[in-house]
């Protein structure tokens, strides 16, 4: 069997009941984190534009658009909810894979609501889709991102497609068709990172995965082995499967996609970073370190002569913008993020408001922050490749005007696998995000339901809670 067939068979033929307590708890945590962010993101301009567009297109009222009273088709609901979930750049990030939950939660939720599935069936589909996404990503990275692709829309769409096929009860051949269809429709280019385009990559991947499964269900036929190319076909069409097309011929490790497939699940490993600060993932440790230094030494901007931040080349590449021209660039601007972390002692949603970004005091203080990549950190490839230690490694040195120096080496942030976020941490984050439109009783009900999601009879009980009682 080829790679595509093995993944499809795994997705469809893995028997119900495979969930362990560990997988269930991990899935529930990811739903809690992602749904809260989705509620907040639904009120962001990016989410609102996606909603208005969906309203213009129209669709059968099959699935809920979180944060609104609207229902629309499952593909459009998945699109809007995916855009909203990534709009604030606050969702989780699985090492070596990327932003998996932000694709799988909205995709699985829309389909499960349409089919009136139980919470356990939702978690099963999520776990399968999460594993397929992780497998495809590990076979294609680091080449995928190094060639300029934003990976999650590409690999996450595969996970959404197979999870949808499983929920629809399709066979392995139809699932391979869905994988082939979505390979031609999900994408994302890195130059759009730092704009609304990044959230579009996610929403489009969700939409494409659901639509691909729907087409396959009705008999749409494509190449059944889309991931792998035909090695003996020269330059003919059949040579260019998904891996060779996106990565360049031979720049992949397809064996990692199927090695020990089904023996364990990525969802059950402690490999996911929960972002406790919106914005680029990589500077998380530096943000925590900056807040700690400023707080512990009771520093103000008047005390500081210069701040020197040493970090990895991946941290700079992920957050490359020198100026925060808008909130999207600000989330990927190291000088801004670290300056406002020092001044405000926190990085939350409010730190990326227009008023904060344009604040003269913050902009002036940014000029005192110098970013560099020292020789001993240049070898770090982190989640992009091999032989790396940690893409978030950083060293902070604050030179004070009185001649004193305070410094700190930073390795990991709260929410990272080395310092995991607790259920209570996620509940607090859920409340922070969802309080913008949900009542306290709705928030409490949603958290309680997510806590026992595996026992919920119908996913529709959950989606009903995620709609504000009074639209604002």
pLDDT at residue 141 in the model: 83
H-type alpha helices, 116-151: 119-140, 143-146
Helix (H) or strand (E) holding 202: helix 197-217
Residues of the chain above pLDDT 90, percent: 89
Please tell me the distance from the alpha carbon of residue 244 to that of residue 226, in angstroms, as a whole number: 10
According to the model, what pLDDT value does residue 388 have? Answer: 61
Of the pLDDT bands very low, low, confident and very high (cuts 50, 70, 90), residue 385 is: low
Query: Model confidence at 390, in pLDDT bands (50, 70, 90)?
Result: confident
**Token digits for 181?**
């269809």
Distance CA 213, CA 222 (A): 12
Q: Is the pLDDT of residue 50 over 60?
A: yes
- CB-based contacts of 47: which residues, under 8 Å, 6+ apart? 41, 67, 80, 83, 84, 87, 199
**383 pLDDT above the threshold of 60:** no
Predicted confidence (pLDDT) at residue 371 exceeds the cutoff of 80: yes
Q: How confident is the model at residue 142 (pLDDT cuts 50, 70, 90)?
A: confident
Q: Do strands 93-94 and 272-273 pair parallel, antiparallel, or not at all (unpaired)?
A: antiparallel
Local confidence band at 472 (pLDDT 50, 70, 90 cut-offs): very low
C-beta atoms surrounding 295 within 10 Å: 12
Q: Is the pLDDT of residue 306 over 70?
A: yes
Cis amide leading into 142 (omega within 30): yes
pLDDT tens digits, one per residue of 82-116: 999 999 999 999 988 999 999 999 999 999 999 99
Tokens 């999207």 sit at which residue? 328
Assign residue 148 a region (left: φ > 0; alpha: ψ between -120 and 50; beta: otherwise): left
Q: N- to C-terminal Cα distance for the chain? A: 53
Residue 249, SS3 per DSSP? coil
Mean pLDDT of 173-177: 98
Tell me what the mean pLDDT of segment 68-91 comes to. Answer: 97
Q: Is the pLDDT of residue 382 over 90?
A: no
CA gap 244, 227 in Å, rounded: 8
Of 122, 275, 110, nearest in space to 206 by CA: 110
Cα gap 232→294, rounded to integer Å: 61
Asked if pLDDT for residue 349 goes beyond 70, the answer is: yes
Cβ distance 81 to 140 under 8 Å?
A: no
Helix (H) or strand (E) holding 451: helix 440-451
Q: Is 183 exposed, middle or buried (0-12, 13-18, 19+ CB in 10 A)?
A: buried
For 12-44, how does the pLDDT look when each residue is reduced to its tens digit (9 = 90+)? 999 999 999 999 999 999 999 999 999 999 999
The encoded tokens of residue 224 equal: 């059944």
Which pLDDT tens digit goes with each residue over 424-470?
999 999 999 999 899 999 999 999 999 999 999 999 999 999 999 75
- The burial of 460, by beta-carbon neighbours within 10 Å (0-12 exposed, 13-18 middle, 19 or more buried), is given as middle
Provide, rounded to the nearest whole percent, the portion of the chain with pLDDT above 70. 97
- Residue with the two structure tokens 């269809």: 181
Taking the model in full, what pTM does it have?
A: 0.95
The answer to whether 202 and 99 are in contact (CB under 8 A) is yes
Look at residues 317, 308, 276 and name the one whose alpha carbon lies nearest to residue 425: 276
**Model confidence at 355: pLDDT above 60:** yes
φ/ψ (deg, to 5) at 413 = -100, 165
Strand, coil or helix: 58: coil
pLDDT digits (tens, 9 = 90+) for 210-245: 999 999 999 999 999 999 988 766 778 888 999 999
HSE, side-chain direction, 13 A CA sphere, residue 65: 31
Return the top range by mean pLDDT from 137-141, 200-204, 320-324, 378-382.
200-204
* Per-residue pLDDT, 258: 96
């Amino acid at each position: 069997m080829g790679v595509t067939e093995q993944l499809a068979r795994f997705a469809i033929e893995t028997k119900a009941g495979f969930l362990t307590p560990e997988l269930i708890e991990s899935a529930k945590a990811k739903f809690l984190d992602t749904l809260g962010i989705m509620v907040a993101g639904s009120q962001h301009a990016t989410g609102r534009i996606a909603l208005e567009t969906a309203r213009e297109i129209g669709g059968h009222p099959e699935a809920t658009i979180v944060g609104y009273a609207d229902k629309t088709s499952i593909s459009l609901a998945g699109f809007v909810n995916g855009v909203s979930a990534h709009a604030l750049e606050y969702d989780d990030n699985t090492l070596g894979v990327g932003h998996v939950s932000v694709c799988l939660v909205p995709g699985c939720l829309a389909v499960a609501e349409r089919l009136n599935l139980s919470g356990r069936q939702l978690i099963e589909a999520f776990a399968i889709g999460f594993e397929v996404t992780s497998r495809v990503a590990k076979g294609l990275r680091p080449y995928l991102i190094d060639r300029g692709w934003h990976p999650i829309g590409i690999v996450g769409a595969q996970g959404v497609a197979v999870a949808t096929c499983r929920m629809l009860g399709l066979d392995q051949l139809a699932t391979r068709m869905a994988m082939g269809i979505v390979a031609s429709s999900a994408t994302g280019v890195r130059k759009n990172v730092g704009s609304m385009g990044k959230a579009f990559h996610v929403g489009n991947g969700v939409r494409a995965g659901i639509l691909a499964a729907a087409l396959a269900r009705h008999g749409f036929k494509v190449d059944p082995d889309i991931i792998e190319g035909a090695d003996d076909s020269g330059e003919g069409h059949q040579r260019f499967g998904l891996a060779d097309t996106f990565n360049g011929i031979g720049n992949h490790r397809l064996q990692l996609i199927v090695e020990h497939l089904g023996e364990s699940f990525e969802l059950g490993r402690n490999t996911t970073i929960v972002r406790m600060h919106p914005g680029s993932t990589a500077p998380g440790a530096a943000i925590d370190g900056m807040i700690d230094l400023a707080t512990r030494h009771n520093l103000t901007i008047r005390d500081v002569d210069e701040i020197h931040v040493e970090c990895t080349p991946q941290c700079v590449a992920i957050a490359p913008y020198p100026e925060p021209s808008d909130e999207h660039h600000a989330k990927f601007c190291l000088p801004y993020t670290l300056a406002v972390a020092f001044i405000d002692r926190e990085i939350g949603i409010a730190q990326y408001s227009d008023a904060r970004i344009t604040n003269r005091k913050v902009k002036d203080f940014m000029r005192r922050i110098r970013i560099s990549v020292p020789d001993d950190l240049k070898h770090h490839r982190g989640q992009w490749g091999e032989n790396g230690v940690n893409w978030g490694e950083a060293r902070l040195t604050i030179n004070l005007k009185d001649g004193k120096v305070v410094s700190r080496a930073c390795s990991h942030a709260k929410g990272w696998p080395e310092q995991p976020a607790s259920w209570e941490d996620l509940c607090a984050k859920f409340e922070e995000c969802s309080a913008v439109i949900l009542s306290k009783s709705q928030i409490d009900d949603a958290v309680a339901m997510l806590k026992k999601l595996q026992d919920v009879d119908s996913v529709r009980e959950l989606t009903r809670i995620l709609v504000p009682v009074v639209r604002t």
